[in-house]
Amino acid sequence: MSAIAITGSGVSVPDFTITNEELCVAFNQYVRLFNEENAAAIEAGDVTELRESTADFIENASGMKQRYVVNKSGIMDPKIMRPVIHQRPNTELCHQAELSVKACEQALAQAGRVGEDVDMVLLATSNMQRAYPAVAMEVQHALGARGFAYDMNVACSSGTFAIQAAADAVRAGSARCAIVVVPEIMSGHLNWRDRDSHFIFGDGCAAFIIERLEESNSENLWEIRGTRALTQYSHNIRNNGSYLGRCEPERRDEADKLFTQQGRKVFKDIVPLAANFIKDHMTSLDLSPETVSRYWLHQANANMNRLIARRVVGRDTTPQEAPTILDRYANTAGAGSMIAFHLHNEDMEKGASGVLCSFGAGYSIGSVILRRV
Ligand code: COA
pLDDT in tens, 133-142: 999 999 999 9
Q: Which residues are catalytic?
A: 156
Q: State the amino acid at position 192 in one-letter form.
A: W
Q: Is the pLDDT of residue 86 over 80?
A: yes
What mean pLDDT is predicted for residues 147-171? Answer: 98
Mean pLDDT, rounded, of the chain: 97
3-state class of 120 per DSSP? Answer: strand
Residue 196 Cα: closest atom of ligand 1: 8
Residue 27 Cα: closest atom of ligand 1: 7
pTM: 0.97
User: Can you say whether the dihedral through the CA atoms of 370, 276, 152, 159 is positive or negative?
Assistant: negative
Q: Is the pLDDT of residue 255 over 80?
A: yes
Q: Is the pLDDT of residue 369 over 80?
A: yes
Residue 197 Cα: closest atom of ligand 1: 34
pLDDT (tens digit per residue) in 292-342: 999 999 999 999 999 999 999 999 999 999 999 999 999 999 999 999 999
Q: Is the pLDDT of residue 287 over 90?
A: yes
pLDDT (tens digit per residue) in 171-187: 999 999 999 999 999 99
Helical segments of 14-157, H only:
20-37, 39-43, 55-62, 73-76, 95-111, 135-143
Q: How many CB atoms lie within 10 A of CB 51?
A: 10
Q: What is the DSSP letter of 187?
A: G
Proportion of the chain above pLDDT 70, given as a percent: 100
Nearest one of 52, 50, 11 to 181, comparing CA atoms:
11
Distance between Cα 195 and ligand 1 center (Å): 9
Query: Tell me, what's the pLDDT at 2?
Result: 84
What torsion do the CA atoms of 171, 175, 179, 182 make, to the nearest 10 degrees? -80
pLDDT (tens digit per residue) in 210-251: 999 999 989 999 999 999 999 999 999 999 999 999 999 999
Q: Which residues line ligand 1 (CB under 6 A)?
A: 53-54, 57-58, 61-62, 156, 195-196, 237, 261, 263-264, 266-267, 270, 300-301, 304, 331, 360-361
Interacting residues of 49 by C-beta distance below 8 A, sequence separation 6+ = 35, 42
Q: What are the residue boundaries of the structural domains of the chain, listed by start?
A: 223-372
Query: Tell me, what's the pLDDT at 129?
Result: 95
Q: State the amino acid at position 197 in one-letter form.
A: S
Pick the CATH number of 223-372 from 3.40.47.10, 3.40.50.300, 3.30.70.20, 3.90.1150.10: 3.40.47.10
Nearest Cα residue to atom 24 of ligand 1: 264
What mean pLDDT is predicted for residues 88-97? Answer: 98
What mean pLDDT is predicted for residues 100-125? Answer: 98
Proportion of the chain above pLDDT 90, given as a percent: 99
Distance between Cα 312 and ligand 1 center (Å): 25
User: Can you say whether the dihedral through the CA atoms of 130, 132, 134, 140 is positive or negative?
Assistant: negative
What torsion do the CA atoms of 96, 100, 103, 106 make, to the nearest 10 degrees? -140
Query: Tell me, what's the pLDDT at 204?
Result: 98
Distance between Cα 104 and ligand 1 center (Å): 35
Query: Tell me, what's the pLDDT at 216?
Result: 94
Distance between Cα 64 and ligand 1 center (Å): 12
Q: Is the pLDDT of residue 1 over 80?
A: no
Query: Tell me, what's the pLDDT at 286?
Result: 97
DSSP bridge pairs for 207: 10, 181
Q: Is the pLDDT of residue 37 over 90?
A: yes
**353-360/294-297 β-pairing:** parallel
Q: What is the DSSP letter of 199?
A: T
